[in-house]
């Protein structure tokens, strides 16, 4: 891929003199969905698919961006003196947001850059192509300009840029999983205080399979912000009788005792999901430590049911993929992953069942939804790096 990116860089920008090539992964969250902004635990891992980028410094303040995934847009130009969100700037609002965020944190980028990206994450799939671009941009800035920031800082700067530049009220999970990825491990992250541990994922004779629904969704214009605000209101109502800072601090029993203080049935269900999903995530990591992949799979299934019934973020596409997966012998667990309303499912499938899984789930999906899903057998990879 390095050669492909450099060849295109030379084609677009004239030569490759001074250009370096970088990679940042995509991520999939194994369990712990919509818990990251509720002060709960998440359990994501970095993937071996992600975003490749070539970049070099310029002598002026011009920024030039080109994506091999959006070749029809050509070179999109901007400047260090025009770092504001602009609908015309399309995908470049993500890297521009990170450059802006570095400046906000006291790290002014002194000169412009030529940047070319090529991602092999399915776009709009919910595998965090935007967070991958953010972490990649931060890594490039650190490498080219010598800024003293840790990988954890890169995650926080990426989240800051998405919140304050792109107006998406996302939690920390995506950027953290990408910046801190470790091959063969998922990250058990407590989003309340960013304490984390790496947990090895040992799937003997099984693989992680991602099914992309091919229903596009945009986080900013989805019901994502609405769900956040429902949880915030539920938390404020619970705080009248519980001394808590987040929903993630409650056990199931504590929630059941106090749930009456939440005034609407809808908000009660939203809060219930946040509380119980957090408990499922803690149990799931323990199951893996006990080498009990079957128990982990059962918790994945329960997670999907809660996201479908209590949080209501699945929809016919994701429900079809998961419910058809549950019918296939050799599927250990399956659930939607990401924000929902489209995007992907993640399943753990025994090696001998993978072909039957993709064939049967794929056919049922096409019959019910009217177009095809795409399937990816993925590996767990490392975080960002220079190639």
Three-state DSSP class for residue 103: helix
**pTM here?**
0.90
Q: Which are the contacts of 14, defined by CB distance < 8 A and separation ≥ 6?
A: none
End-to-end CA distance of the chain: 10
Residue indicated by tokens 């920008």:
13
Containing 178, the helix (H) or strand (E) segment is: helix 173-179
CB 306 within 8 A of CB 273: yes
pLDDT of residue 123: 64
pLDDT of residue 296: 97
Strand 62-67 to 113-119 pairing: parallel
Q: What is the pLDDT of residues 326-369, one digit of tens each?
A: 999 999 999 999 888 888 999 999 999 999 999 999 999 999 99
Residues that are catalytic: 174
Rounded-to-integer distance, Cα 298 and Cα 291, Å: 14
Distances (CA, A) of 68 to 7, 91, 192, 332: 12, 12, 37, 36
Q: Where are the beta strands (DSSP E) in 252-373?
A: 331-337, 344-350
pLDDT of residue 221: 52
Rounded-to-integer distance, Cα 70 and Cα 202, Å: 37
Q: Report H helices in 14-115.
A: 93-104
Q: Which are the contacts of 219, defined by CB distance < 8 A and separation ≥ 6?
A: 130, 168, 170, 339
Query: Could you tell me the domains of the chain?
Result: 2-191 (3.30.230.10), 206-221+271-378 (3.30.70.890)
pLDDT of residue 220: 45
Under-50 pLDDT residues of the chain: 220
pLDDT of residue 167: 87
Residue 253 — φ and ψ, nearest 5°? -60, -45
Distances (CA, A) of 162 to 102, 157, 172, 180: 13, 9, 10, 18
Q: Where are the beta strands (DSSP E) in the chain?
A: 20-29, 41-42, 44-57, 62-67, 76-79, 113-119, 185-190, 195-200, 206-212, 331-337, 344-350, 374-378, 385-386
pLDDT of residue 169: 79
Distance of CA 235 to the CA centre of its chain: 24
């Amino acid at each position: 891929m390095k050669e492909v990116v450099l060849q295109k860089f030379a084609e677009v920008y004239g030569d490759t003199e001074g250009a370096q090539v970088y990679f940042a992964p995509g991520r999939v969250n194994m369990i712990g969905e919509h818990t990251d902004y509720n002060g709960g635990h998440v359990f994501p891992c970095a993937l071996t698919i992600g975003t490749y980028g070539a970049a070099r410094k310029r002598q002026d303040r011009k920024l030039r961006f080109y994506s091999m995934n959006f070749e029809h847009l050509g070179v999109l130009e901007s400047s260090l003196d025009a770092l504001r969100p602009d609908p015309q700037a399309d995908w470049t609002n993500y890297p521009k947001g990170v450059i802006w965020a570095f400046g906000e944190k006291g790290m002014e980028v002194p000169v412009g850059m030529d940047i070319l990206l090529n991602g092999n994450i399915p776009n709009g799939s919910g595998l965090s192509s935007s967070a991958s671009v953010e972490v990649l941009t931060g890594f490039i800035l650190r490498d080219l300009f010598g800024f003293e920031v840790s990988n954890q800082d890169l995650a926080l700067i990426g989240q800051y840029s998405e919140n304050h530049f792109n107006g998406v009220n996302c939690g920390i999970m995506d950027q953290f999983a990408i910046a801190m990825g470790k091959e063969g491990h998922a990250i058990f992250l407590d989003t309340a205080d960013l304490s984390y541990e790496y947990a090895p994922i040992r799937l003997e004779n099984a693989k992680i399979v991602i099914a992309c629904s091919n229903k596009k969704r945009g986080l900013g214009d989805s019901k994502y912000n609405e769900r956040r605000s429902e949880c915030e209101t539920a938390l404020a109502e619970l705080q009248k009788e519980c001394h808590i800072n987040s929903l993630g601090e409650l056990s199931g029993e504590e929630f059941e005792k106090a749930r009456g203080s939440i005034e609407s049935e809808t908000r009660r269900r939203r809060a219930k999901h946040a509380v119980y999903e957090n408990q499922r995530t803690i149990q799931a990591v323990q199951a893996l430590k006990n080498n009990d992949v079957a128990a982990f799979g059962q918790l994945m299934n329960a997670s999907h049911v809660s996201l479908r019934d209590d949080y209501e973020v699945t929809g016919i596409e994701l429900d079809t993929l998961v419910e058809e997966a549950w019918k296939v012998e050799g599927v250990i667990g399956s659930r939607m992953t990401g924000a929902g309303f489209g995007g992907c499912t993640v399943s753990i499938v025994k090696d001998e069942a993978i072909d039957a899984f993709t064939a049967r789930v794929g056919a049922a999906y096409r019959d019910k939804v009217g177009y095809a899903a795409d399937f990816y057998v993925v590996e767990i990879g490392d975080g960002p790096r220079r190639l």
